[in-house]
């Protein structure tokens, strides 16, 4: 059986095309080709600027890493060169001092005089410990000094390097050994460099 709709069942209004107001259409934001190109150009420029900024940041970080990798070995090398230079200066100073002691005409007498000047005047009985080779020379010099034999007691000490001495009295001791004087020179050099 077929069913046919009766007129009361068909109660509906026909659809009609709505009226379009041209002013209203303009407000809807119809995009012209020129406007679309402008939007596209702005988006491209913003994307390009953002890409450049990100690339610069990434390249800057990479550059800093490369520079750090380059300068770290340079700093280490500089520290090594400084240490080696200080060691070379110490060795040169030792060699020059040893050479002066060997070739000098009478270096032990100057060393003993300096040590005696540093002693306090309180004790007059002075004991001078020197290398045996320097002891013989000092005894000769003391023999020419009328008071030298009474005030000085010269003691041979093979542990003292030639050109050095240890002078002592009841009140104090002055270490005039080559090693002590060299250490004093090196300490002053380090103090001036630091």
pTM: 0.49
- Is residue 168 domain-resident? yes
* pLDDT given at position 165: 92
pLDDT at 122 over 70: no
- Is residue 92 domain-resident? yes
In terms of C-beta density within 10 A (0-12 exposed, 13-18 middle, 19 or more buried), how is residue 139 classed? Answer: middle
Of 104, 119, 148, the domain-final residue: 104
pLDDT at 186 over 80: no
- Is residue 148 domain-resident? yes
Helix, strand or coil for residue 130?
A: strand
The string of pLDDT tens digits covering residues 34-79 is 888 888 899 889 888 888 888 888 888 888 888 888 778 878 888 8
- Reported for 103-109, long-range contacts at CB under 8 A and 24+ positions apart, including other chains, are 104/163, 106/137, 107/163, 108/134, 108/137, 108/138, 108/162, 108/163, 108/165, 109/137, 109/138, 109/141
Of 104, 125, 144, the domain-final residue: 104
pLDDT at 10 over 70: no
Structure tokens at 94: 């030792």
In angstroms, the CA 187 to CA 180 distance is: 10
**More confidently predicted of 153 and 190:** 153
Structurally, the chain folds into a number of domains equal to 2
């Amino acid at each position: 059986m077929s069913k046919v709709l009766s007129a009361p069942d068909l109660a509906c209004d026909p659809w009609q095309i709505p009226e379009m107001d041209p002013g209203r259409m303009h407000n809807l934001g119809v995009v012209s080709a020129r406007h679309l190109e402008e939007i596209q150009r702005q988006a491209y420029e913003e994307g390009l600027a953002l890409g450049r900024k990100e690339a610069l940041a990434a390249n800057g970080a990479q550059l800093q890493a490369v520079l750090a990798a380059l300068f770290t070995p340079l700093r280490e090398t500089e520290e090594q060169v400084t240490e080696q230079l200080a060691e070379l200066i110490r060795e040169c100073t030792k060699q020059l001092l040893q050479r002066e002691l060997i070739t000098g005409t009478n270096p032990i007498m100057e060393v003993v005089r300096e040590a005696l000047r540093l002693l306090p005047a309180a004790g007059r009985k002075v004991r001078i410990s020197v290398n045996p080779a320097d002891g013989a020379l000092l005894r000769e010099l003391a023999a020419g000094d009328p008071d030298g034999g009474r005030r000085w007691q010269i003691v041979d000490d093979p542990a003292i390097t030639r050109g050095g001495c240890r002078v002592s009295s009841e009140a104090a001791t002055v270490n005039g050994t080559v090693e002590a004087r060299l250490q004093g020179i090196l300490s002053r050099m380090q103090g001036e460099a630091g």
